[in-house]
Structure formats: C-alpha cells, structure tokens
Chain A
Amino acid sequence: MSYLKAESIGQALTLLKESAPESRLIAGGTDLFLQEFPERLIDIGSIEELKWIEEKEGFLEVGAGVTHTIAGGSDLISDKATALAEACLQVGSPQVRNIGTLGGNVMNAAPAADAAVALVALGAVAVLMDKDKNIRRVNVDQLYAGYNCSAVDCSSELLLKFMIESCKSGEGSAFVRFAARRALALPMVNAAVRVKIKNGIISEIYLVAAPVKPAPTRLLKTEELLLGKSACEETWLKAEKSAAGEAEVRGSLLRCSADYRKHLVGILVSRAIQVAALRAIGGKEEG
C-alpha cells in the first residue's frame, strides 16, 4: 500500500494522472477508514486551496476540504447559508466533525449525509477538475450514481468547491434531523429547506428530505404545492401532509419502520420550512 500526501491541487492532479485507476483520494477518511483500504491513497486533506470560504459576486464558495467544524463555526456560512452551518454542526461527533470534510460528506454518497442534504436544498453547485485540469460544474444532487455510490470517479477527478447562491434579504434556510440519539447516529430522517418569501407569500422554495432516494432529492410536488401559498400555519400543515405523502421511504431494522419514517418526513419538512420562513421574514427564533 502506498500513501501519498499532496500539498496542492496541481500536485494532487499530477499524482492522480500518474497512477489511475488504482488510486483513491482521501481527505478526512472518516468513512474511508471503515471500508477496505485501496492500494494507493492520495491525501488531499492538507491542501490549503481546498479550505477557503469566501463570498464572491453573490455566491458563497466553500472549499471541498473545509471540515464540518470549520463550516459549522463560520459566520459567513451561518449568515448566508444557515442550513449548511446547522447541518455541519450535527454530523457525527466532535471528532468526526473535526476531521471529516464537506467534500467527503458528498463524495461518500450516503443518501442522508447531513451536509449534502443541506447543500442540495441550498441549490449548491459542485466544481470539479479532472486530471487534465478541465473544469466542470454540476448540481450536487447530480453527483450520485446509486446508494452509497458516487457518480464521480475519484481516480480521475477532484472536487474543488461548492458554490452556493448567498442568501439575500427575504430568504432563509434551515436544517433539522431526527435520530435515535443526540450524537453519533445516522438520521432516521433529515430535512433542509431554502425559502424566499415576498409579501408573506412563498415565492421560491427548495425542499429536501432524506433518506428518500439514493441522492438527497427535492420533494418537487410539495415545492409546487407551496409556491404562492402564504407563510402561515395552514400552509405548514399542508407541507407536512404533502411531504409525507410524496416521500417514498424504506424501513430498516436498525433505524425505524417505513411508516414512521414517512411520518417523520412530514414533521421534519414542516419544521424546517417554519424555521426557514421565520428567518426569511427576519422573525425572532426561540431559544
């Protein structure tokens, strides 16, 4: 087994080019360490260029190498992409958050990874660079090929960063999760919402609940139902009912039954919308 440490994006790409397809990229390694180890690992965890968080021309750019702890504690992210900061602070445990990266959370392709769910609801775009330094931009929900299977071939392509349209006035986002215990537990359900409210009316909404499909997926029917509705109790109840009805979920012996999960999807979606809406109109939050 070989273990190579890349100091820059350029070096990582060169190393990839030299050794495809046996190599695999490793950042935090919190998921990779649980699997059988590949023959050759290229560590991108200390590449500084992947750790930037900045706002440029109305877009928040978050490097793929940013850890959950850093993202969760970033004022910029809390302000401009609240759901992402909230999601990052609820991943695993402090140890996992300290080392696990946003890029890893998406590339590991788990169906209900907290940060990935928030990224999809925020409409984030992933920026990737291949061995020949070609850049492509893809919506985060397009990075999934199946359950726990990424559409990105990480022996030939490197995820650089996520671009998220900054949250403006009249917009708000939120993330909520429900799990068997308060730390170190995969969610039974998590949900993220980004909403725009104009004159008390929902004018834009992105709504994600997971695990529903292999990729964090928007609940389009519910989104459509909510568009043009006023931000009030009645709408939240509609959201709850519609989301629970729309989500096709599976049950598992380890987490919960399908019926309960369906119920939770409704409850969590409704809760996330309420919090996001409150933020959009600049209301005060409890606690």
Chain B
Amino acid sequence: MRPTRQIAAVLALLVAALSALAAAAQEGRGPLRIEITEGVIEPLPVAVPDFIAETPEAADYARAVSRVIASDLVGTGLFREIPPEAYISGITSFSAPVRFSDWKAISAQALIVGAARLGDDGRLEVKFRLFDVFAGAPLGEGLRFSAAPGSWRRIAHKVADAVYARITGESGYFDSRVVFVSESGPKGDRRKRLAIMDYDGANLAFLTDDSTLVMAPRFSPDGDRVLYTSFETGFPQVFLLDIATGARRSLEIPAEAMSFAPRFAPDGETVLLSLQKNGNTDIYRTTVSGGRLQRLTSSPSIETAPSFSPDGRRIVFESDRSGSQQLYVMDADGGEAVRISFGKGRYGTPVWSPRGDLIAFTKQANGRFHIGVMRTDGSEERLLTASFLDEGPTWSPNGRVIMFTRESRGVDGTRALYSVDITGRNLRRVPTEQGASDPAWSPLQQ
C-alpha cells in the first residue's frame, strides 16, 4: 500500500558524456518547449514507441509502461501522440543511435525511448531518454526507476512527470492520487463511501464501506492521511483516516457541536473546520492531536469551506454575511476578513492553489454553476466551466489543472469527476465506474 518507499529514482549516466548532454539540452530548449501559461492550441507531437524489453518477462511491462506515459502526456492536452503506424524506423535497442531524420519526417518533435527489465532481485527497472528530435539531441539526462513490478504504473507516471517537467519547465502531476466519494444507489438514497485512486482512475480502492454518509475528504500535505466528514455517530462529524492502515477516529470536538468541511494546514497538524452550534456555523481551528479549539469567525451568518494559503499564513473561506455566499480572506488566526468576490452571483468552496497565485471556486449565477479561478485579491476572475451543476474544485499538485464534481440534472442525475486546465481548455471526464463526487487531489508522491 506504500510503494512510495519502494521506488528509488536513480540518476544513471547513459551513453553520452555528461558535458555533451548538458550542451545538447541547452540547445534543445529552443524548439522543444511548451509555455503552459499561454494556453496551447496546437499540441506538441510526441512519439512513444514501445519500450524495449531487456528481459523476456519484462515484455508486458515494457509495453504497458509506454502506453501509460503516452496516456499521461496526451491527457494534458499539451501533447499529441504520433501513431505507431506512422513510424519509419523502430527502436530496437535502448543505446543504439537514434535516426532523427526518420522521426523528423513524421513530424515528431519529442521522442521517448525506454527499456524495462526484471532484475535478479525481482524488481522492475525502467530507464528512459527524452530526445528533442529537431535539435537531434537528448533533452536532459537519462533516468532509471526501479520498484516492485506491482508499482509499474507509478514508474510510468514518474517517467511522464519527468518528460512533462523538461518540456514545460514545471513539475508534473501524474504520480498522484485522488481521494473522493464513490456513489451508488438512487438519487434520493445515495450510498457513499470514501475511495482512493490514481489521478487517472486506475488502482481504485475503497477506504470505508457504504453504511454511513461521508463527505468531502481532504488529503494531508504528505498524502498519507485524510480528513473527512462522516455521519457514523448519526450526526456530521470530522474524522481522520490513515490511508495505509485504514484506522480512523473522530477529532475531539465538544459533543454539542457538529463539525464538517475540514482542511489540513500545510503543517499537517493544524486543522480548519466548520462547527455548527445552535444552527450557527463558524470556522474554527484545532489540531489532529486534540489541541485547543480556536474560534476564527463569530457572526450569525454561515462561515464555512476554509482553505489555507500554501504558506499557512492566510485563510480563504465562504460566508453569507453580506446576504449571499461570497469569498473572504483572513489571517490564519482569524481577525478581520476582507471580501474578495464581487461579481454577480454566489461564490463558494474556495481553494488556494498550491502555487499560491490563484484561488479556485464554485460560482452560481443565472441558474448555472461554474468552476472558476481568481487572483488571491479577487481580481482577474475567469470562469473555466459551465453546467447544470459543477462544484468543489481541487488543484493538481502543480496548480495547472483543476478537478471537480459535475452533476447531471433530473431524476436520474448522477455525479462524475471532471478535470479542466486553468486555461479553461481540456475538459475531461475522469474515469470512475460508479458515480463520484468530492475529489481531493494529493500532492505529488515521493
């Protein structure tokens, strides 16, 4: 359950001399570069020929790893894959010189060459090189990863993250997971359980059974624990769950209060949550280890959905103190809050970007729901989606993609997870077998 520790990324010196590599990489920066911020209209063509199996047992892994890498890259909307049928020359050996003219002829700009083998210790080893075809040179050094064969998908995601980082200059987001609420049953009697999966929907596992309602899971900064709201006691209450062991317990909250909408602070110890007493909902801060409850807001209105800035110094939250749901920012220990949302409509579920530059939110206006982003002072609001009901954004680890819940209308309405770039492009459904809601995206795994 914790492949993190099993993966060792090893820098491997490959064929070419270091100095030559570095020089080539410098030159390669010219054409092979995607500026994400500008929004990519024309995806960059990449060739991902099947990885070479260096031991016979590694053949299935070799092919599967290259497929996942291609899927990761194409899924960003920033790349398109050159179909293998178009290849002029194949890759028959990891170390053989690449015939760049053959790849240039089919317009591949990036080429990923890799190999897989099962070592004597039973571990799967995967190495790869990224080539800038037009520069006719490698882009960055070759890398080698090894892990238990069962973690082959993580290896593939690591390779794809490295490729993404070299070409975009930003860290990737593929070796990450999503915790969410898996839903079944009719609309009037939904069964819900916590589930976790890879960011692309693979490796689904359930964390709770469906005997009680659960809501809004949130990752710890290390991705090893989850805070969520459960009706296990009959009333909403915040619980802490250890992903590896499945152990869970409620936070220590006075019995007369109901608690929900939890969120970790960057320190992994401090927790923000909403408490409801006598019908009034306010934001409190406490710790996972039973620290003192500190009240951060005190007004007769609804204050909920708090989220820390990545430096832990400020909190964005929603309140209807003005008469309708709007977004506010206050210091981490409370104090006066500044309203930041002023557009027409209602704003809720604000989440601070891991880069610190933007706040994602749900907006309700003219009978439609939107996922949007704004700067942390509320300026430059941009709506990324529109539908009958979109809500609950969560950020990819690199702050470039947002995942959220989309619900379809009507008696048979169901919920599903979607993702969209912060440019508003590349709207995709995240594959889940059953209904799904309330996604929370983990940090990049180590």
Partners in one complex: no
Q: Please give the residue numbers on chain B whose beta carbons come within 8 Å of chain A beta carbons, in ascending order.
A: none
